[in-house]
Structure 1
């Protein structure tokens, strides 16, 4: 369930950037005017910023280079907040800065836990791996219950094989249930 929540959260953040980028490309003159009015940056950044937001949002949504895209977008959001929303005493700017802070937090969570793939085949592979681990644990428990020692250590000098632990040991004798201990 956590993987599904991570995927949905990542898609929501990605959609935010894609929609923002489309809005910037739909009105490049308005974006350029906002950039020049609120910073010393050139107005020619309007179109590249819109393209960057769309491309980064799509990459994030698809789960491609997730951690890299998330940290780059986090840096972009932090820089945008410092450049355009630093007047937090103004109610509107404070609200936009708070919104960016929440987006920054979400992007850092994606960076930390963003390697969750969105493909169903990945979920199936994870389920198969889990089932195999459970089957191996059950087989080991059955072998231990029967008193069979299946672990063998081979001598470096080519000598005879010897059990890794005395055959009389039981699971209760071990601290963690690992036959190698």
Structure 2
């Protein structure tokens, strides 16, 4: 049941960044002005929108979930510092608390990064299966080498016995 909750939590958090990224890319001039008003280069509008969009898609499909969740958590915490630092303003304080909660959810997602129904989990299962196959193959090869060595030892023992049974003048 908890894996279902993690799955839906991952989707819900991803939707926030999916909508935000699409909005930033559709309204580039507004995003440019908002970023410039915070004292940052306005040229960050498109890269920011693309970052949010790419991160959201990776979270949705579960690709590098832990990496994207930690990057987004840092991103969200930086938005508090640059855009919501007026804590005396109730609207800014509420936005900062919302972003803090999102960062907390992203850090929880970082902790549960390889969940079911994700590419990361599928890749991990394939790695585990491959490791098991390789271990079985190595064990089989070791058994085969041991059997060959045992056979060679038996043959060497029989030839030593045969040599000793010959008369001394034929040696």
Per the normalisation by structure 2, the TM-score is: 0.68
Aligned with 1:40: secondary structure?
A: coil
The separation in 1 between residues aligned to 2:94 and 2:27, in whole angstroms, is 23
Residue aligning to 1:100 = 99
Spell out structure 1 runs of 4+ moving beyond 3 A: none
The separation in 1 between residues aligned to 2:106 and 2:56, in whole angstroms, is 11
Alignment of 1:108-119 (within 5 A): 108-118=107-117
Aligned with 1:22: secondary structure?
A: helix
The separation in 2 between residues aligned to 1:64 and 1:117, in whole angstroms, is 12
Alignment of 1:150-161 (within 5 A): none
Q: How far has the Cα of 1:25 moved from its partner?
A: 0.6
The separation in 2 between residues aligned to 1:91 and 1:30, in whole angstroms, is 23
The separation in 2 between residues aligned to 1:115 and 1:89, in whole angstroms, is 39
> What do residues 99-120 of structure 1 show as CA deviations (whole Å, max 9, x unaligned)?
101100000000011210215x
Alignment of 1:88-167 (within 5 A): 88-118=87-117
User: Which of these two proteins has the greater Rg computed from alpha carbons?
Assistant: 2
The separation in 1 between residues aligned to 2:36 and 2:45, in whole angstroms, is 10
Residue aligning to 1:33 = 33
Instruction: Compute the RMSD of aligned alpha carbons.
Output: 1.5
Aligned with 1:97: secondary structure?
A: helix
Q: How far has the Cα of 1:91 moved from its partner?
A: 1.2
Gaps of 5+ in 1: 126-181
Q: Is the 8 A contact 1:6 1:114 kept in 2?
A: no
Q: Is the 8 A contact 1:71 1:111 kept in 2?
A: yes
Residue aligning to 2:42 = 43
The separation in 2 between residues aligned to 1:76 and 1:117, in whole angstroms, is 26
Aligned with 1:31: secondary structure?
A: helix
Residue aligning to 1:55 = 54
The separation in 2 between residues aligned to 1:65 and 1:102, in whole angstroms, is 22
Q: How many residues align?
A: 121
Q: Is the 8 A contact 1:14 1:60 kept in 2?
A: yes
Per the normalisation by structure 1, the TM-score is: 0.64
Q: Is the 8 A contact 1:71 1:108 kept in 2?
A: yes
The separation in 1 between residues aligned to 2:85 and 2:58, in whole angstroms, is 29
